[in-house]
Amino acid sequence: MQHEEKSLLINADRFLLLSGQRFYFYEQKKYLQAEIDRLNELYKKYYYKKKNQKEQILKLKEEFTKSIGKYEMEINYYKNKVLI
């Protein structure tokens, strides 16, 4: 690099330090990273909640079909008892 380019970079860096913009960009980066992490946590929470709800629905459907079969057997038993 030429001497002029180096001095321009140094002066630009000094300006960012003195004006506080350098720290602003660091803070902004930290904020955005924290926001991304927060959104990822919300997504994971929603995803697992939805997954658990689907599992519960499947269990309830199985229980419902089992109870239907059980009650049909009881109904048939009582029908046969009444016919005798």
- For position 68, what pLDDT does the model report? 95
For residue 46, CA distances in Å to 9, 41, 42, 52, 54 come to: 47, 9, 6, 10, 12
- For position 13, what pLDDT does the model report? 73
- For position 84, what pLDDT does the model report? 64
- For position 43, what pLDDT does the model report? 92
Round to whole Å and give the CA distance between 32 and 24: 12
Round to whole Å and give the CA distance between 46 and 33: 20
For residue 50, CA distances in Å to 4, 57, 78 come to: 60, 11, 42
Per-residue pLDDT of the chain (84 residues; tens, 9 = 90+): 677 777 777 777 777 776 766 666 778 888 999 999 999 999 999 999 989 999 999 999 999 999 999 999 999 999 888 876
